A and B are shown apart, each in its own frame.
Chain A
Amino acid sequence: MAEIWVYLEEGADDLAPISRELITKAMELAAGLGGSVAGLALGPSAATITAQAFNYGVPKVYLTEAPALEHYTNEAYVAAAAELIKQYRPSVVLAGTSIQMRDWTPSLAAALDAALAADVTHVAVEGGRLVATRPSHGANVINKLGFNAPLVIISLRRQVSPEAKPTGGTGETIRGTMPAIKQRTRVRSVKEKTNAVNLADAQIIVSGGRGLQSPENYQKLVPELAQAFGGAYGASRAIVDAGWVPYERQVGQTGKTVSPKLYVACGISGAIQHLAGMRSSGTIVAINRDPEAPIFKVATYGLVGDVNELLPALTEAVKTKVGQ
């Protein structure tokens, strides 16, 4: 039976959390479609990632190591994967939605004439058939997709499945060869961002908007509350466009899409463009002076009042009742 492959990504000190989720998902799909699970590991860490994947129950990993794969480049990583896929013919390839994966999956689909579902939030076997769900139009439309192709490539967001548990297992390694390619792109250098903001992985996010009235108030109140919660902090488009906060903190349709366990919207009215980026959060707290603000329509809990008074009070209450 055809295999379901998971593109395996390196994490900080273990297999990336998204890859562990995708292993669980691939096993579920393999059970539903009748097939087996395998991993795909490319690049200098491929051997390490392969060992980690075995530990999470993956029975087989296809692996290619080559000088051309030292850094991710679209052309080398697509070529290496396409070579293995053409030879071993999986029916489904699952990948995450990191920037490199959003770059890789469409090129791979185009190279192999495969079907592609991008930025998927749910995938399952329904009536013997693979069905993927993805939001579009700023999360105002939920699309259910079926496929008519021998190969389906799917990029999936976080929180699609529980992470696979370690099994201490071992598996089979199949080595691929790097095809000869014209290498037209070269990564000159990679530097760490000085203030990297990883909103996508945060469990709690506190975001501020125009209701805070000044960049000083934002800086004084929002990071402090986020810290008390042990979370990250974001912003509405309005204050990013006004230059209070850098773009990488923007939550919304033209910024980041997030779905943390808890989202606290402070002085954010709830424009459709903002809701698009956070409406799938677990619990939503809205803090706004205007009781008619649209943000209250999606809020689990609302506080009506001056955010510049309520935020320090909330920070205090969190510190007192929950501790650090």
Chain B
Amino acid sequence: MHTLVFIKQVPQQNSVKITPDKHIDASGIESIISLFDEYALEEALLQTEKAGGQVTVITIGTEADKEALRKALAMGVDNAILVSDPQFADIGSLAAAKIGAAAARKVGDFDIIFCGKQSTDDETATFGPALARYLDIPVLSYVFKVESVDPNTHTVVLERALESTIETVESTLPAVLTTVKDLNQPRYPSLLKIRKAAKATIPTWGAADLGIEAGSLTPKIEYLDRVPPPPRPVGSIVDGASAQDKAAKLVDKLVDAQVI
């Protein structure tokens, strides 16, 4: 079985700055693999260990994002690919999915694709469902339990967690699965694998390698403005002689403000 995983490197803390030309500046903040993608990596490794085969991890980004790919290699992934081109900067998640689809097609012989349900920076939750559509394969999003993956019969059975129900779904393979938190316990990389990953050669695929024509990714969305959230009104400490006194005063304030 050949498993693909798409991951994204994101700032560990979201205390990012906004530049005067409305870009996000995450300089000085440590980079990590987006949390939900860690679960995608772990599930890809678990399922591929069971079925036999290899895992290929792909990220769309810049040279700096090879760090995330090396972390994935250290977790046990077999191959890593960086998809990078100056044209791909700030293109939005639908276009990223289009590029991801081109990369998956270039890999060719995949059985299943995992990615996190959303990234923890842009939080659009768009990549997986759009990727599947561009590849014309099924998407199973918000997966919280993979029951079985059978590359021989090309089927997957899994559970999706919705607001108040749990759906058991079966699908043909290949398919895209997007993962939620706590679907598994992501493993720690071993020292041996960290050393090996540091030396691994990671190929870079650009627009020309993927057959993406210049100008074909014109964004349909335009950032008119980006600002920090409005500050919350200044609050006050409710003081009192005892816990009972403080509690009573607070409840009075909530009643007066018609909150309760």
Check B132–A74 contact: CB distance below 8 A: yes
B44 in the interface (beta carbon within 8 A): no
Which of these, B221, B237, B255, B259, contacts A147 with CB under 8 Å? Answer: B221
Which of these, A110, A273, A318, contacts B97 with CB under 8 Å? Answer: A110
A156 to chain B, nearest CB (A): 14
Check A247–B167 contact: CB distance below 8 A: no
Per-residue A-contact encoding for B13-29, CB less than 8 Å = 1, 0 else:
11110100000100000
Within 100-141 of B, Cβ neighbours of A (below 8 Å) are at: 120-130, 132-134, 137-141
Contact A317:B167 (CB < 8 A) given known A99-B162, A144-B225, A272-B15: no
A97, B37: Cα distance in complex, Å: 21
A145 in the interface (beta carbon within 8 A): yes
Check A317–B259 contact: CB distance below 8 A: no
Instruction: Specify which chain A residues have a CB less than 8 angstroms from the CB of B130 in the assembled complex.
Output: 106-107, 109-110
A315 to chain B, nearest CB (A): 8
Within 29-58 of B, Cβ neighbours of A (below 8 Å) are at: 35-36
B247 in the interface (beta carbon within 8 A): yes
Within 92-121 of A, Cβ neighbours of B (below 8 Å) are at: 98-100, 102-107, 109-111, 114-119
Check A100–B14 contact: CB distance below 8 A: no
A119, B172: Cα distance in complex, Å: 29
Contact A283:B254 (CB < 8 A) given known A272-B13, A272-B15: yes
B238 in the interface (beta carbon within 8 A): yes
Q: Give the A-B contact count at a CB cut-off of 8 A.
A: 269
Check B16–A254 contact: CB distance below 8 A: no
Q: Which residue of B is nearest A276, CB measured?
A: B14
Instruction: Specify which chain A residues have a CB less than 8 angstroms from the CB of B247 in the assembled complex.
Output: 303, 310, 313-314, 316-317
Which of these, B14, B18, B161, contacts A138 with CB under 8 Å? Answer: B14
A310, B161: Cα distance in complex, Å: 35
Contact A190:B14 (CB < 8 A) given known A114-B220, A291-B237, A321-B255: no
B176 to chain A, nearest CB (A): 10
Contact A106:B222 (CB < 8 A) given known A99-B162, A187-B169, A322-B251: no
B138 to chain A, nearest CB (A): 5
Check B227–A103 contact: CB distance below 8 A: no
Within 136-184 of B, Cβ neighbours of A (below 8 Å) are at: 137-142, 157, 160-172, 175, 181-182
Q: Which residue of B is nearest A314, CB measured?
A: B247
B226 in the interface (beta carbon within 8 A): yes
Chain-A contact segment, one of B59-67, B80-88, B201-209, B228-236: B228-236
Instruction: Specify which chain B residues have a CB less than 8 angstroms from the CB of A190 in the assembled complex.
Output: 165-168
A115, B223: Cα distance in complex, Å: 13
Contact A188:B168 (CB < 8 A) given known A103-B141, A143-B223, A321-B255: yes
Check A192–B165 contact: CB distance below 8 A: yes
B252 in the interface (beta carbon within 8 A): yes
Per-residue B-contact encoding for A185-216, CB less than 8 Å = 1, 0 else:
11111111100101010001000000000000
Contact A140:B14 (CB < 8 A) given known A107-B139, A190-B167: yes
A85 to chain B, nearest CB (A): 14
Check B222–A314 contact: CB distance below 8 A: no
Interface size class of B (residues with CB under 8 A): 35 or more
Check A304–B237 contact: CB distance below 8 A: yes
A69 in the interface (beta carbon within 8 A): no
User: Which of B13, B133, B142, B218 gathers most chain A CB within 10 Å?
Assistant: B133
Within 234-256 of B, Cβ neighbours of A (below 8 Å) are at: 235-239, 242-244, 246-248, 250-255
Check A142–B170 contact: CB distance below 8 A: no
Check B126–A186 contact: CB distance below 8 A: no
Instruction: Specify which chain A residues have a CB less than 8 angstroms from the CB of B170 in the assembled complex.
Output: 185-186, 188
Give the 3 A-B CB pairs with smallest separation, nearest first.
Answer: A115-B220, A138-B14, A110-B133
Known: A185-B170, A285-B250, A301-B238; 8 extra A-B contacts, CB below 8 A, are A74-B140, A110-B98, A118-B126, A131-B224, A142-B228, A147-B220, A284-B232, A301-B237
Could you list 12 A-B pairs, sorted by A, with CB under 8 Å?
Answer: A74-B138, A99-B162, A119-B124, A146-B224, A185-B140, A273-B14, A279-B232, A284-B235, A301-B236, A313-B243, A317-B244, A317-B247
> Which A residues have a C-beta under 8 Å from some C-beta of B?
71, 73-75, 78, 98-100, 102-107, 109-111, 114-119, 131, 135-149, 184-193, 196, 198, 200, 204, 229, 247-248, 250, 253-255, 261-262, 272-273, 276, 279-280, 282-286, 291, 296-306, 309-310, 312-314, 316-318, 321-322
> Which B residues have a C-beta under 8 Å from some C-beta of A?
11, 13-16, 18, 24, 35-36, 93-94, 97-98, 120-130, 132-134, 137-142, 157, 160-172, 175, 181-182, 218-230, 232-233, 235-239, 242-244, 246-248, 250-255, 257, 259-260
